[in-house]
Structure 1
Amino acid sequence: MNIDEPLRTAPRSALSGTHGDDPEFMRSAHARLVTGQIDDTTRLDRLTELTARLLGASTSQVSIISEVQMVVGASGPAAPAKLEASPAEDSMCTVTVNHGSPLAVHDAARDDRVAGLPPVTSGAVRTYAGVPLRVGGHVVGALCAYDSVVRTWTEDDVALLELLGEAVTAELQLAAVEASYSEDRQIWSVAVEAAGVGAYDWNLHTGELSWDDRTLELFGVERNHFDGRIETFSSLVHPDDRDRVTQAWQNTIEQCGVLDVEYRVVPPEGPTRWVLARGEAYPGLSGRAERLVGAVLDTTQVQEGEARIARVLEAMPSAFFSLDREWRFTYANARAQQLLAGVSGDLSGHVLWELFPQAVGSDFEVHYRHAVESGEPVSFEAYYPPPLNAWYEVRAWPSPEGLSVYFLEITDRRLAQEELARSAERGSLLAEVTSSLTSTFDTYQAVGRLAQLLVPRLGEWCIVTLVDHNEPFTQRDWRRHLRDIGLWHADESRRHTLQRYVDLRVSALSDDSYLARALSGERSVLVADRAHEQVTATLQPGEARDRYLELEAENVAFLPVRGRGRTVGALTVGRRRGMPAFTPDELNTLVDISARAGLALDNARAYAEQRDLAEGLQRSLLTPPPDPAHLQVAVRYEPAAEVAQVGGDWYDSFLQTDGSVVVVIGDVVGHDTVAAAAMGQLRALLRGIAVTTGEGPAAVLGRVDSAMPTLQIDTTATAVVAQVEQTSQEVEAGTVRLRWSNAGHPPPIVAVRQTDGSVVTEVLEGDGPDLLLGIDLGVERAEVVTHVPLGATVLLYSDGLVERRGQSLDDGIERLRATLADLVAEGCDLDTLGDQLLARLLPDRPEDDVALVALRLRQPVASSD
């Protein structure tokens, strides 16, 4: 700013404007308001004394200019009377007010702007420097220094006078604020006199509230008596203010916004005082506020302006500097000098863009210029490269004088956030891998899909290899035990190249290949430099080597997939030239994933072995059905998904001595080896009774009931026994008799295909099922005869086919009925029908075992009258 630039003065008649919309009228009104509230000039006198001493002038004064001049503070031998009106047009401060910016007059007698004013013509003033004072957006007066001898004012003199003018402005603003409060709010006048600033940091995640020493002093609490709880803070807030303060910080947290609240504090000892709290809520990765950080200002006592400014700025934990409108540093506190010492030892007087050239075009310049152009404060985070090499959190406030900037170095916090983000990404990936490995029966398929999960997050391409032999490296032909079950490339155009390499690579691998080294040991093998050359050297010449070179791999990691004491596979993850090398964290993540895949594969192998054992045990208790020429019988058994969980479901089909076919479906209560053993006993008992007695279903079930206590079969079971019969008349009519009895079991279903292709189904319920076997030895069991046409399908099944969590038994039977009708309508043969019923009705992981018997009459049976 050129301190000697020509004045742009308003007409003097503007000082007497009388219209409310006249800017000069409003300015004068503000000036009168300020003047009317000053009855003690002590503090302003001290500021003028300080001004005169610092500038080396004999006299300094503070003038408020309305229609008249009122001196409200002065020091020096030529100081005029205070709090007495004098003509405004005779004052040099009026010229400063009209100018609206600093005015420096080196030789007043030779300066046309002021030469004719009485103070100059009288010889009292030969040199003058003044700065405007703004209150409420209006220039209300001036702070000036003058002398009776000629002198030259420097840029530094004017800059210092501006800083002192800020202190005077603060005092004038305080007077204006004091005037706006009623007597019952006089505590406000005490509050705004505060100069000390305290800092607080509330961790919303842990609940810990941290106060610095100044804040503890403001609240009247000793450090060893403060427990860091928000409840303790609330207890120190005045009861009448507590709800309001609580609502203010709750709103700030919910909106991740800015806190600005003033309230009363009741210390354990001493008088109540007012504090002004300001802060900002900072969000975490979730977007919700995780920390509320800010400052508290004691607004109870106003200290001298010059000391207040220096103490606040120098004691702040934040760094602070101010820029003029030409982007030149006018002030920097000690913290700012310390943080920016890597660029310059002294910032004052330097142009920002010259001292920090890499700020040009960066977020710093964008936000600073936006603040100045828009007049709005800005907050942002930005990085400055070496020599500072640091992240900063910056807040900048524009003012008529330039820009005020507060900033904190947040490099450690930023690095911690980045590490947290990497950890979250790692955790998310591991969760996806775990979910993929555990969400399907086909673990081998899930492991094969790992390649798509790892690319592109951990590599550009990935190959998943399975080892089919426990110890392949003890044999010369170890390669034949390797099987690549999954691959993926981030670049779709290169997937064919990777696929072709995978198709050819196993036979091209040498015995000392990196894959062989990884498979033969327990540690990963990392080729961290020139992998395209090093890996190529372990491949036999040919197409596999050529395809690998096309991948342009620069970094490749080979990781063994280990089960329990054995290598079950390998992961190969590659990155091309130009991509960063694997970091230790990324390698640890890959090792973790390979370990999870190894355990999943090992568990899958053990699960398959145990499930096969359980299923084999169950199936060994069941026998194939007979295959009479006149009747087609299909049986199915599906074990539960749980490992080694044998069940009590069984089926049976056999011939009686008269040629009748008997079919049985049953379910012993329980899902363990005891239930399986009881099932075997009941099945054999029922079969033996039915064959030796030749009796009907109800009688057979009754005899089984009677025999169970004698044979010490201590269990309960459900069962349906059905007998297929036919007389000569029924042969002619094309029907058969299905004689059946139900002991608490889900009812059989009959499906008949009509001539028009539609299917009619019937659930054989009779009068309802009887009691379970093993409940009441004296129960009289019912027997029902149902006439069924030739070609009809009869289905007997266990409850595992129709019972589900969240589904009633009736809904399950209705679903089975509809599915059976669809399959019969489709013309499925009996074996296909059994397979499709299981495929369409069972979940991926059935919780119960299932048995079913399907019958279809294909020609007349031997007559039995």
Structure 2
Amino acid sequence: MAGSLPSGTALPSRSDPAFERFARLVRRQLDVPVALVTLVSADEQVFPGAVGLPEPWRSTRRTPLSHSFCQHVVRSAAPLIVSDARTDPRVADNLAIPDLHVIAYAGVPITDADGAVVGSLCAIASRPRTWSDEDLAVLIDLADACSSELQLRTAQQRADQAAAQARRLLAQQQVDRSRWALALDAGQVGTFDLDLGTGALTVDDRLLELSGMDRVTFTGRPEDVYAHVHPDDVAEVVARVRKAVATGGTYQAEYRIVLADGSHRWIAARGQTVGGVDGTDPRLVGVVIDTTTQREPQEQTAQIVDEMAVGFIALDPDWVITHVNREAERITGQPREQLLGRTLWEAFPATVDTAFEKHYRRAADTGQPVSFDAYYPEPLDVWVEVRAVPRPAGVALHFVDITARAQAAQQFERAAARERLLGRITEELVGTLDADEAAERLSRLVVPAIADWCVVTIGDDDLAAGSRRGLRTAAAWHVDPAMRETTAAYAQARLGSLEDDAILIRAMRSGQLQLIDAGATGQVQDMLAGGPVQELMGALAPEAVAVLPLPGRNGPVGILSLANGAARGSFTPEDLVTARHIAARSGLVLDGARLYRQQRGLAEGFQRSLLTAPFEPDHLQVVVRYVPASQAAQVGGDWYDSFMQPGGATMLVIGDVAGHDVQAAAAMGQLRSIVRTVGALDHDGPAAVLRQVERVMETLQAPILATTVVARLEQTDPEKDAGLTRLRWSNAGHPPPMAVAPDGTVTVLTAERADLLLGVDPTAPRRESQVTLGWDTVVVLYTDGLIERRDADLDTGITRLQATLAELAGRDLDELCDELLARMLSDAPDDDVALVAVRLHRQDRPRPAEAGPNRVPPGFPVD
């Protein structure tokens, strides 16, 4: 119902923790900069919950209505959705647009305990936004919870007010009792005398007046009085009189007299049996007094308590239940007649040794009220918010049924947990392009999130739609570590034992979820051929099984099998929805991994077909490596080469053609052929080779840009006798080679000035550099993919490579190259890498076995 708080109502101006939490939830769930919980009066609005509110409003937490969008929500009692406030005629003149930067606004009503709209829960953006149905649904759910919080507080306030009124009535009762004492002193008491022998009743005028009778109608029999007693009380009065007569004891009763106008008066009667000796008849004598003024406040208090919207149970110091109101009857599901007179622990045994008992006893021991939320199990199955209030005569329990709110919060948390699970699965699976690793990650994420154990089955590249051929088990996992070996054994054995009607086969053929909701162990065993696999299934003992195909672009690429034990039982609808989402995402990732594997194989095969094994003359060990980029289709232009010149010198080449595509690979093949053809026929040094290559490229009109290093290992006889080898090289814009001495010293082989890369200027000068190397020196040539990183420059990469080579000095050359690539490259390198490494073995000894056999062209010298 629409409305606003009354004019002049004092609104809270400080932050409230509960409402702050709702504001934070809105900002996080709807991804907005500002979220508010507002309460609106006729003059202003305040923000007991606010996140992202700018100054000065963040300090004051109030604004006039000229800055309020929420007033429209209160007046209309309906959500207000604004995509761009500057163009929306409903709010275009609102001062919140320039002052608070409110552009997009979504607000949902907040209601009080009487159903009146008193504020709104709103999300605010400082730029235009189209609010989705999901945004509005989240906002409505949170606004309902916010309203519940406000209504609970109102109920608590009313309960406190009722308790205060009861205290006032009790105080009044004390006054009335004093007045009653004065009345007794003044003789305002009726008297009676019942002759137990004759049954004659003698009363005075005051008793007749109090009982609604007169002398004319009174016949002197007790039945005359009973006729005016309230029908609900007469049986109790008669029973008490008879008991006093039978026992010769006292008589006490308090009852209602029905008056002529239909109203009633409360009468308190006290009597004592006397006489009965010396031949006299016994008598019951006593007095009556009007207690209406004392009982009415009690009745009013009891009525107020009974009509409260908050459950109420009063306990005496021995924890015996002395009062139960109607709301308590409703929440507990028990009539008060079954509760009164029993101890709390007898009436509600599930409170023993729980948060309930702990908090109740804490309130009684400390004398301080205690508030808490807790769940009471079957048969009540209810969430309650309890306030235990100590009092002189025991403890009073005030409680509210918050089951709907708790379930909404639990449902919200389960939905959020499912979203987190799906997000984590996506993140984990896309982080690898290896199908088996993706399957392992998937199995550990779904267990125990939605199942007790699982098996992930994936298909090879030649998997046929609807066929078990090509399927293999990739991963299995169980929540119980003791059952993981059994799960793995079953997963490996089951594929060869499946009958044609097995649910795994049905899932592959249909592409649909297959579910056994109960009694799954026997049903699955019937789908397996006899033998150990059936025993393994019996040991796993699933109660429920769900089998989901993992859909790829052209049909299922695998199967996700989920199972629950008897304790967990059937899959919930939410579990199955989540499982479908998981299967869909996992299938795409596994399909992508399969496509990557296929494309990578083709690309790497094409690239490697352009590279040949190096020549290795005596005492010279040459190791080459090529690593393709992680993007399979990005066939690179990196290459290496090692060949011999007619004079016996060994040429080393490393190069990188600009681009990462098939054209770059083709250009690389063309340039590599030119370099090795010119170099293999030429007796000149590296610079002359590069000049000749430039002329050939110009003649052939080959539009190729490339960086390269051409190096030549050579020696004279005196140098050979001295254990020395000269390295001459020419560098066309390429990263510098490095030389690793036996003692671990790494030298970066740079020239005074770098020459232009190939393909820019055919007339550009080509310079040579030279260094003399000793035995056991390692020379490393590489492409920029080895040192280049997005977050660091090339100089940093060169320094890192230099340090890594120093650490690897002295290792076998093959081991050095493999370890170097492992340390320098990520799991998914952005660029391809070519590498040539040469070790100068000693020439005064035989060629070492680790260098492998000589490999030289026919007719070339081997020394």
TM-score bucket (shorter structure)? 0.5 to 0.7
Structure 2 match to 1:394: 386
SS at match of 2:386: strand
Q: Give the counterpart letter for 1:785 in structure 2.
A: Q
The residue aligned with 1:529 is 518
Change (3 A) 1:312 1:767: farther
Q: What's the CA shift for 1:854? A: 1.7
Encode CA deviations 1:118-141: one digit per residue, 9 max, x unaligned: xxxxxxxxxxxxxxxxxxxxxxxx
Whole-angstrom CA distance in 2 between matches of 1:632 and 1:469: 39
C-alpha RMSD over aligned residues: 4.3
For 1:748 and 1:349, locate their aligned partners in 2 and report how far apart those are by CA, in whole Å: 95
Q: Which whole-Å CA distance do the structure 2 matches of 1:245 and 1:428 have between them?
A: 34
Q: Among residues 25, 33, 37, which one is paired with 1:209 in the alignment?
A: 37
Aligned equivalents of 1:231, 1:543: Cα separation in 2:
63
For the pair 1:382 / 2:358, whether they are aligned, the reply is: no
Cα distance change, pair 791–521 in 1 and its aligned pair in 2 (3 A): same
Of 774, 779, 789, the residue aligned with 1:804 is: 789
1:816 maps to which of 801, 804, 807: 801
Aligned residue for 2:582? 593
State the alpha-carbon separation in 2 of the partners of residues 629 and 557 from structure 1. Answer: 65
CA distance in structure 2 between the partners assigned to 1:661 and 1:770 by the alignment: 22
Residue 654 of structure 1: how far off its partner (Å): 2.8
Whether the 8 Å contact between 1:343 and 1:355 is mirrored in structure 2 is no
Q: How many residues align?
A: 600
The one-letter code of the counterpart of 1:842 is: L
Structure 1 residue identity aligned to 2:637: G
Aligned pair 1:447/2:447, yes or no? no
The one-letter code of the counterpart of 1:344 is P
1:793 aligns with 2:778: yes
Distance 1:315 1:643, change over 3 A: farther
Counterparts of 2:58 and 2:624 in 1: how far apart (Å)? Answer: 76
**Cα deviation, residue 847, structure 1:** 1.4
* Residue 767 of structure 1: aligned partner: 752
Deviation at 1:346, TM superposition (A): 8.7
| Alignment partners' CA distance in 2, 1:469 and 1:680 | 30
Residue 623 of structure 1 corresponds to 612
Q: Within 5 Å, give how 1:29-40 maps onto structure 2.
A: none
Query: For 1:736, what is the secondary structure of its paired residue?
Result: strand
How big is each residue's C-alpha offset from its partner over 1:577-629, in whole Å with a ceiling of 9 and x where there is no partner? Answer: 34322112112222322222222221111011222232233333333333445
Q: Kindly provide the amino acid, as one letter, of the partner of residue 443 in structure 1.
A: A
Q: 1:838 to 1:208 in 2, by over 3 A?
A: closer
* Letter aligned with residue 343 of structure 1: Q
Name the aligned partner's letter for residue 413 of structure 2: A
2 CA distance for matches of 1:804 and 1:626? Answer: 32
Q: CA deviation at 1:404?
A: 4.4
Work out the CA distance in 2 between the residues paired with 1:817 and 1:191: 76
Q: 1:423 to 1:629 in 2, by over 3 A?
A: same
Deviations 1:215-256 (A, max 9, x none): x6xx445xxx97989799x99xxx9x995878xxxxxxxxxx
CA-to-aligned-CA distance 1:142-180 (integer Å, 9 cap, x gap): xxxxxxxxxxxxxxxxxxxxxxxxxxxxxxxxxxxxxxx
Q: CA deviation at 1:661?
A: 2.5
Residue 176 of structure 2 corresponds to none
- Residues 693 and 385 from structure 1, CA distance in 2 versus in 1: closer, same or farther, beyond 3 angstroms? closer
Do 1:651 and 1:853's aligned partners in 2 also have CA atoms closer than 8 Å? Answer: yes
CA contact (8 A) 1:329 1:347 kept: no
Counterpart of 1:570 (choices 552, 555, 559) is: 559
Q: Equivalent of 2:820, from 815, 818, 837? A: 837
Q: Distance in 2 between matches of 1:513 and 1:359?
A: 45
Q: 1:723-775 CA deviation, whole Å, 9 max, x = no partner?
A: 2222233233332222111122221122333xxxx344322223243333344
- C-alpha distance in 2 between matches for 1:229 and 1:245: 7
Whole-angstrom CA distance in 1 between matches of 2:625 and 2:332? 83
Query: How has the CA–CA distance of structure 1 residues 494 and 314 changed in structure 2, closer, same or farther, with 3 Å as cutoff?
Result: closer
The Cα of 1:852 is off from its aligned counterpart by 1.2
Of 435, 456, 469, the match for 1:464? 456
Output the CA distance in 1 between the equivalents of 2:328 and 2:553: 60
Q: Choose which of 412, 422, 425 in structure 2 pairs with 1:433.
A: 425
| Residue 781 (1) aligns with residue 766 (2) | yes
In structure 2, give the amino acid aligned to 1:559.
L
Give the distance between the partners of 2:726 and 2:578, measured in 1 at CA: 68
What is the one-letter code of the residue matched to 1:574?
Answer: A
1:841 alignment partner AA? M
Comparing 733-742 and 775-784, the one that deviates more: 775-784
Match of 1:412 in 2: 404
Distance 1:245 1:407, change over 3 A: farther
What SS does the aligned partner of 1:825 have? Answer: coil
Say which is worse superposed, 484-493 or 309-318, in terms of deviation: 309-318
Query: What letter corresponds to residue 802 of structure 2 in structure 1?
Result: R
Gaps of 5+ in 1: 1-189, 193-199, 247-283, 285-289
- Aligned partner of 1:721 in structure 2 is 710
Shift of 1:393: 0.9
Q: Which residue of 2 aligns with 1:853?
A: 836
| Partner of residue 670 from structure 1, selected from 659, 665, 674 | 659
Structure 2: where are the runs of 5+ without partners? 1-7, 11-17, 27-34, 63-137, 139-144, 170-296, 844-855
Cα separation, 1, equivalents of 2:637 and 2:810: 32
Q: Secondary structure at the match of 2:740?
A: strand
Q: Is the contact between residue 344 and residue 355 of structure 1 (CA under 8 Å) also seen in structure 2?
A: no
Q: 1:297 to 1:590 in 2, by over 3 A?
A: closer
* Structure 1 residue 778 displacement after superposition: 4.4
The separation in 1 between residues aligned to 2:411 and 2:625, in whole angstroms, is 55
Counterpart contact for 1:393–1:410, Cα < 8 Å: yes
Structure 1 residue 414: Cα displacement: 1.0
Change (3 A) 1:765 1:519: same
In structure 2, what is the Cα distance between the partners aligned to 1:824 and 1:619?
A: 28
TM-score between the two structures when normalised by the length of structure 2? 0.61
Alpha-carbon distance, 1:811 to partner: 4.2
1:14-163 matched pairs, under 5 angstroms? none
Please show how residues 124-273 of structure 1 align to structure 2 within 5 Å.
Answer: 203-204=22-23, 205-206=25-26, 207-209=35-37, 211=39, 219-220=41-42
1:340 CA drift (Å): 3.7
> Do the aligned residues in 2 keep the contact of 1:749 with 1:762 (CA within 8 Å)?
yes
- Code of the residue aligned with 1:847 in structure 2: it is D
SS where residue 543 of structure 2 aligns?
strand
**Residue 546 of structure 1 aligns with which residue?**
535
Change (3 A) 1:460 1:620: same
Whether the 8 Å CA contact 2:48–2:61 is kept in 1: the answer is: no
Quickly say closer, same or farther: Cα 1:470–1:863, change in 2 above 3 A: closer
Is residue 353–residue 359 contact of structure 1 (8 Å, CA) maintained in 2? no
Q: Could you tell me how far 1:500 is from its partner in structure 2?
A: 3.4
Question: Which has the larger displacement, 578-587 or 681-690?
Answer: 681-690
AA in 2 matched with 1:834:
C
Equivalent residue number for residue 494 of structure 1: 483
CA distance in 2, matches of 1:520, 1:315: 63
CA distance change for structure 1 residues 728 and 329 in 2, over 3 Å: closer, same or farther?
closer
Q: Partner of 1:343 in structure 2?
A: 334
- Code of the aligned partner of 1:844: D
Matched to 2:610, the amino acid is L
Aligned partner of 2:829: which letter? Answer: P
Query: Measured at CA, do residues 398 and 712 of structure 1 come closer, stay the same or move farther in structure 2, by a change above 3 Å?
Result: farther
CA contact (8 A) 2:429 2:441 kept: no
Corresponding position: 1:353 with 2:347: no
Describe the SS at the equivalent of 2:754.
Answer: coil
What CA distance in whole angstroms lies between the structure 2 residues aligned with 1:650 and 1:469?
Answer: 30
Sort the Cα spacing of 1:766 and 1:574 in 2 relative to 1 into closer, same or farther, 3 A: same
Contact 1:359/1:365, CA 8 A, preserved across alignment: no
Aligned to 2:741, the other structure's residue is in SS state strand
Distance 1:674 1:412, change over 3 A: same
Deviation at 1:697, TM superposition (A): 1.6
Within 5 Å, give how 1:636-647 maps onto structure 2.
636-647=625-636
Separation in 1 of the partners of 2:305 and 2:729? 98
